[in-house]
Amino acid sequence: MMRKSEYALWALLVLAVLAAGSTMVSLARSQSASASNSEIYKQLDLFGEVLERVRADYVEKPEDSKLIESAINGMLAGLDPHSAYLNPKHFRDMQVQTRGEFGGLGIEVTMENGVVKVVSPIEDTPASKAGLMSGDLITHLDKDPILGLTLQEAVEKMRGPVNSPITLTVVRKGVEDPFDVKVVRDMIHINPVKYDAEGDDVAYIRVTTFNEQTTENMQKAIDDLKTKLGPNLKGYILDLRNNPGGLLDQAISVSDAFLDQGAIVLTRGRNLEETQRSNARPGDITDGKKMIVLVNGGSASASEIVAGALQDHHRATVVGTRSFGKGSVQTIIPLGSNGALRLTTARYYTPSGRSIQAKGIEPDVVVEEELPEDLKKKVEVEGTHGEADLRGHLKREDEDGDTTEESGSSAYVPQEKEKDTQLNYALDLLRGIKSVDTEAKKKAEAN
């Protein structure tokens, strides 16, 4: 055994060595941090010098706030295509979109030949009550011409405080002269869920976006369809085609509505402690009925979370074409009165660990829509586009090390249901006219 005096001496030596090592590590870290800080300060000095040169020598006097905003946007655009700075106005617009309610007229519109064309008035809104019709062309807003405005600018002018009036100048087919329509703005509630019964046996639910009202409205739709179809109900079609995504929590709650247990989505940030797993709670609001999920090249983000979760748990058969492939999570970070920062903070993975980033969801049954001739030519020249085609996109990182990336697919959906190949295919699957096993066998034989 070692004597106490010798033990004490050795203990002091060990402590001294440890202390010296700790000091060296701390010093190395401090020097590394100091070098890093020194470099960033040099870069900030460079930025300051360029800023002053622009302010002093540019051919026209620039606006300082626009210079700084552009610089911030440039920095964030260099990270990935989805990170961005939202100035106060854009931040308010984003909040309006996610709430799904705003002061406005209640019309779905598009731009045609420089004027606003009414796609359809929303039922029981100021626009429908004022008699606006699908196909109407709006040429002036409060006597000011729309020509020269973007669609977004025109929409912003039509929105406004509840109970405030606006006069629309309308050109209508079959009416010789333009006429004015006075509309008083009201609170408009955008329903992200549209539904109908297909025949007397299939429930069709289309989710157009994931805003704060999506889950609640979807549950109402399912309750209504259950009552309408009764015991004849064979199954559900959840149409996520051309749904660009939206709120992560809504994607989780929509998935949860159809699942009894298991993971829904995994999100992983830069550090291990930032990994989160969302799990389903008991209770399937469709009582385990058959499900088909429709996706295409316009299905992105939250849509892919839902499709991936239901596919991995074999809860639904996914039909259509490869989805867009946006597998990253953006966090909105408010900046007080200066707007907000939309920053990519995590990647998300399906329950089985698949990364959707730059690859998308591959359907269980691939069904292509027949394209009109003009679109066929366009696709032949330009191809289809997905996340993998975006400049600066995050690279794919799968759990098994697979980094293969795939482009998207067509986002075309015919307006006439009888021409909608994907929808009709889903109906045949639910009604037993076709089966997934038969199609898988045909695909294997073709390969």
**Residue 163 pLDDT:** 94
What is the pTM for the complete model shown? 0.82
Query: Which candidate in 83, 301, 407, 409 is catalytic?
Result: 301
CB within 8 A of 364, min separation 6: which ones?
311, 317, 318, 319, 436
Which residue, among 415, 412, 439, has the nearest Cα to 425 in the 3D structure? 439
- State residue 31's pLDDT score: 54
| Largest Cα–Cα separation, the chain | 113
pLDDT one digit per residue (tens) for the chain, 447 residues? 344 444 343 344 333 433 444 444 444 445 555 667 888 888 999 999 999 999 999 999 999 999 999 999 999 999 999 999 999 988 988 888 898 888 899 887 888 888 999 987 877 889 999 999 988 999 999 999 999 888 878 988 999 899 999 999 999 988 999 999 999 999 988 889 999 999 999 999 999 999 999 999 999 999 999 999 999 999 999 999 999 999 999 999 999 999 999 999 999 999 877 789 999 999 999 999 999 999 999 999 999 999 999 999 999 999 999 999 999 999 999 999 999 999 999 999 999 999 999 999 999 999 999 998 888 888 887 788 899 988 899 998 876 677 889 888 999 999 899 999 999 999 999 999 998 866 554 554 554
Question: At a CB cut-off of 8 Å and minimum separation 6, what does 317 contact?
Answer: 290, 291, 292, 293, 364, 365, 429, 436
Amino acid identity at 7? Y
List 326, 355, 407, 409, catalytic entry? 326
SS3 of the chain: helix, strand, coil, percent, to 5: 40, 25, 40
User: Which residues, 6 or more positions from 435, have their beta carbon under 8 angstroms from its beta carbon?
Assistant: 429
Residues 6+ apart with CB under 8 A from 426: 237, 292, 294, 319
Q: Which of 136, 312, 364, 420 is catalytic?
A: 312
DSSP letter assigned to residue 344: E
Let me know: does 347 contact 327? Beta carbons within 8 Å: yes
- Residue with token string 């157009």: 208
Strand ranges (DSSP E) for 321-438? 328-334, 340-349, 365-366
CB atoms inside a 10 Å sphere around CB 43 = 9
326 is catalytic: yes
Write down the pLDDT at residue 186: 95
Retrieve residue 49's tokens: 């010098």
Give residue 30's pLDDT.
Answer: 53
- Residue 130 has a pLDDT of 94
Q: What is the pLDDT of residue 18?
A: 38
Query: What stretch of H or E contains 33?
Result: helix 4-57
Question: Tokens in use for 345?
Answer: 């903070």
Q: Which two tokens stand for residue 437?
A: 């096993």
CA distance 348 to 312: 14
Q: How far apart, in whole angstroms, are the C-alpha atoms of residue 232 and residue 116?
A: 43
The answer to whether residue 142 is catalytic is no
Among candidate residues 306, 348, 324, the one with its CA nearest the CA of residue 406: 324
CB neighbours of 375 closer than 8 A, spacing ≥ 6? 410, 412
301 is catalytic: yes
How many residues can be counted in the chain?
Answer: 447
Q: What is the pLDDT of residue 16?
A: 40
| pLDDT for res 253 | 98
- In the chain the domains, ranked by start, together with CATH numbers, are 103-189 (2.30.42.10), 193-446 (3.90.226.10)
Chain centroid offset of residue 245 CA? 3
CB 425 within 8 A of CB 367: yes
Would you state the pLDDT for residue 123? Answer: 75
Of residues 132, 135, 134, the one with CA closest to residue 167: 132
Distance CA 295, CA 303 (A): 8
Contact assessment for residue 255 and residue 315, using Cβ atoms and an 8 Å cutoff: no
